[in-house]
């Protein structure tokens, strides 16, 4: 099994793309974007679409798609990155939340549309999303989620219940008891989207400089524009946008803004036709479960299963990984989940394992923020739902930078503020303690093989899970 090499997705594209040049000299621009993941690239793409005359420079420490955008599970999902109740505290209340959710749903189609118009072959298939329950506790959580969704006005067109048989007709998940189906979700090859998007932004005239780490982002004074400092000189720009999500803690002054949550993935070798006959999955739905330490998966275009989950949740001091290398114990644990859910994969080899970081704000709610006076902005904190959200955030940042008032600029995540994370060692101890609690809760909720002591055990698991959620502030 390969481990790291950033991700399987890059390996599947024949390795890393040819490296773009670093910043050649100090420069001036209208807009300087730090980070060439989906957020930075979509922002550049839309800015140049709206104002082709603007000079837009993107500075990237490694290469476009090096971060989460080239490593993720490939779910382009309309799932809300945050809590409805918290967003509803904004000035537009519940209506604002519904508007944000509707915008995210249409964003799934927008990503597909751009893939088509720009000729980005990213294996985009809009097959919907299934959340499956494999224990009675998970089933109860799914039913509670559906009841909440109905209260917020979501009808069957947005989310509907699937019986055990309906789940298994779509995807033969062992032990499935039921599920929820949401049509607004698509499957993609993440690195292909990142690579295609970078090329599309360049075709529109954006300049992307790679191997150009930004060491500081300094606001301007007296209308002079701010500066993004790099070892090769600075880029002075009227607008400076930080699009570094899980890497944000690397900037002085932002150490406790977003927690770099680690997520790991494994991918199988291509599965045989007989195995696919057993599993089904003809609709290429994105698949997740309802465990506290949940899993997420997709069927790839080349007939593999790519499956992810938490593993080591967080590294001390907000450190990030080395080229995506993950622990062998995490890869083995993800392999166990794979084989438990899909016994037909028992003999299949795991081909590759990797990990990456996503950004989690302390209140689990994403933000798109721009201050027209200082010209400083940022977007991120999508808590694992960043693929579609980064597109909407990019369009919104473009509007904000250009001073355009749109439906997007009044969405409740615009200007949303979250408090900062606790200092170390409390941050490390808290996150590790939380995930130990979640894993224990998941084990207790899983029925024992002989069914013994089930009720008390399960009830304890559910209580521990709720305790975990109230500590973490994880939204439901």
Ligand X SMILES: Cc1cc2nc3c(=O)[nH]c(=O)nc-3n(C[C@H](O)[C@H](O)[C@H](O)COP(=O)(O)OP(=O)(O)OC[C@H]3O[C@@H](n4cnc5c(N)ncnc54)[C@H](O)[C@@H]3O)c2cc1C
Candidate ranges 63-71, 406-414, 428-436, 451-459; the one touching ligand X (CB under 6 A): 63-71
CA angle 145, 417, 93 (to 5 degrees): 50
- The alpha-helical segments, DSSP class H, found in 245-315 are 273-279
- Residues 6+ away with beta carbon under 8 Å from 15: none
- The enclosing H or E element of 226 equals strand 226-230
Contact segment (CB under 6 A) with ligand X among 68-76, 141-149, 162-170, 202-210 equals 68-76
Which 271-310 residues touch ligand X, going by CB under 6 A? 296, 308
Q: Closest CB to ligand X among 180 and 214?
A: 214
Measured from the CB atom, the residue of 321 and 445 that comes closer to ligand X is 321
Pairwise CA distance, residues 309 & 356, whole Å: 11
CB of 467 to ligand X, least distance (A): 26
CB 33 within 8 A of CB 43: yes
Q: Which residues contact 155 (CB under 8 A, 6 or more apart)?
A: none
Nearer to ligand X among residue 213 and residue 280 (C-beta): 213
Give dist(CA 189, CA 263) in Å, integer: 17
Of these, 73, 225, 335, 461, which contacts ligand X (CB under 6 A)? 73
195-254 positions binding ligand X, by CB under 6 A: 213-214, 243-247, 250
Q: Which of 9, 10, 17, 35 binds ligand X (CB under 6 A)?
A: 35
Beta bridge partners of 179: 132, 162
Closer residue to ligand X in complex, CB, 321/442: 321
Which residues within the stretch 342-401 sit at the binding site for ligand X (CB under 6 A)?
Answer: 356-358, 380, 382, 384-388, 390
Q: Minimum distance between the CB of residue 409 and ligand X, rounded to whole angstroms?
A: 19
Q: What's the burial of 468, exposed, middle or buried (CB within 10 Å: 0-12/13-18/19+)? A: buried
> Of 399-428, which residues contact ligand X (CB under 6 A)?
none
State yes or no: residue 187 binds ligand X (CB under 6 A). Answer: no
Quick check: 77 binds ligand X (CB under 6 A)? yes
Q: Which is nearer to ligand X, 137 or 472 (CB)?
A: 472
CB 301 within 8 A of CB 371: no
Q: DSSP letters of 51-81?
A: -TTS-EEEE-SS-TT-SGGGTS--EEE---S
By CB under 6 A, how many residues form the interface with ligand X?
44
**Smaller CB separation from ligand X, 134 or 230:** 230
Q: Least Å distance between CB 195 and ligand X? A: 12
Minimum CB separation from ligand X for residue 285, in Å?
A: 13
Query: For ligand X, which residue of 40, 112, 128, 465 counts as binding (CB under 6 A)?
Result: 40
SS3 440: helix
Phi/psi for 345 (5° steps) reads -95, 10
Q: Is 398 exposed, middle or buried (0-12, 13-18, 19+ CB in 10 A)?
A: buried
Q: Closest approach of Cβ 336 to ligand X, in Å? A: 18
Q: Which one of residues 17, 67, 335, 377 is an interface residue with ligand X (CB under 6 A)?
A: 67
Whole-number Å distance between alpha carbons of 348 and 303: 12
Cβ proximity to ligand X: between 287 and 437 the closer is: 287
- Are β-strands 216-218 and 160-163 bridged in parallel, bridged antiparallel, or unpaired? unpaired
State in angstroms the smallest separation of the CB of 68 from ligand X.
3
Strands (E), 319-364: 350-360
DSSP states of 84-101: HHHHTTSTTHHHHHHHHH
The nearer residue to ligand X, 113 or 151, going by C-beta atoms, is 113
**Residue with smallest beta-carbon separation from ligand X:** 386
Q: Give the interface with ligand X as residue ranges (CB under 6 A).
A: 34-40, 59-62, 66-69, 71-75, 77, 213-214, 243-247, 250, 263, 265, 296, 308, 356-358, 380, 382, 384-388, 390
């Amino acid at each position: 099994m390969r481990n790291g090499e950033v991700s399987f997705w890059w390996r599947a594209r024949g390795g890393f793309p040819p490296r773009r040049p670093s910043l050649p000299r100090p420069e001036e621009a209208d807009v300087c974007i730090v980070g060439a993941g989906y957020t930075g690239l979509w922002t550049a793409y839309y800015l140049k679409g709206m104002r082709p005359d603007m000079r837009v420079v993107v500075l990237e420490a490694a290469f476009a798609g090096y971060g989460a955008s080239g490593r993720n599970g490939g779910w382009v999902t309309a799932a809300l990155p945050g809590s409805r109740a918290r967003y509803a505290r904004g000035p537009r209340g519940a209506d604002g939340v519904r508007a944000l959710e509707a915008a995210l749903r249409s964003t799934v189609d927008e990503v597909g549309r751009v893939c088509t118009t720009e000729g980005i072959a990213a294996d985009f298939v809009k097959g919907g999303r299934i959340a499956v329950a494999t224990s009675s506790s998970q089933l109860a959580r799914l039913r509670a989620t559906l009841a909440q969704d109905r209260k917020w006005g979501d009808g069957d067109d947005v989310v509907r219940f699937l019986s055990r048989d309906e789940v298994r007709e779509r995807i033969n998940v062992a032990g499935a008891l039921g599920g929820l189906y949401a049509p607004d979700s698509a499957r993609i090859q993440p690195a292909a989207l990142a690579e295609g998007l970078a090329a599309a932004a360049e075709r529109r005239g954006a300049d992307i400089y790679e191997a150009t780490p930004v060491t500081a982002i300094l606001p301007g004074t007296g209308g002079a524009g701010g500066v993004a400092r790099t070892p090769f000189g600075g880029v002075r720009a009227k607008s400076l946008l930080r699009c570094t999500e899980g890497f944000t803690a690397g900037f002085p002054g932002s150490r406790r803004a977003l927690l770099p949550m680690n997520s790991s993935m494994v991918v199988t070798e291509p599965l045989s036709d007989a195995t696919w006959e057993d599993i089904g999955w003809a609709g290429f739905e994105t698949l997740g479960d309802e465990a506290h330490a949940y899993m997420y998966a997709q069927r790839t275009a080349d007939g593999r299963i790519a499956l992810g989950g938490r593993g080591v949740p967080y590294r001390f001091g907000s450190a990030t990984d080395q080229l995506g290398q993950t622990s062998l114990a995490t890869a083995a644990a993800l392999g166990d989940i794979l084989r438990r859910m899909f016994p037909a994969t028992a003999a299949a080899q795991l081909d590759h394992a990797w990990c990456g970081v996503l950004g989690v704000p302390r209140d689990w709610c994403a933000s798109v923020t721009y201050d027209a006076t200082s010209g400083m902005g940022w977007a991120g904190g999508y808590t694992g739902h960043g693929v579609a959200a980064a597109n909407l955030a990019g369009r919104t940042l473009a509007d904000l930078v250009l001073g355009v008032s749109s439906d997007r600029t009044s969405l409740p995540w615009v200007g949303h503020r979250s408090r900062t994370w606790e200092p170390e060692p409390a941050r490390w101890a808290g996150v590790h303690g939380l995930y130990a609690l979640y894993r224990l809760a998941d084990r207790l909720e899983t029925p024992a093989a002989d069914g013994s002591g089930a009720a008390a055990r399960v009830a304890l698991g559910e209580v521990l899970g709720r305790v975990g959620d109230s500590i973490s502030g994880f939204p439901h």
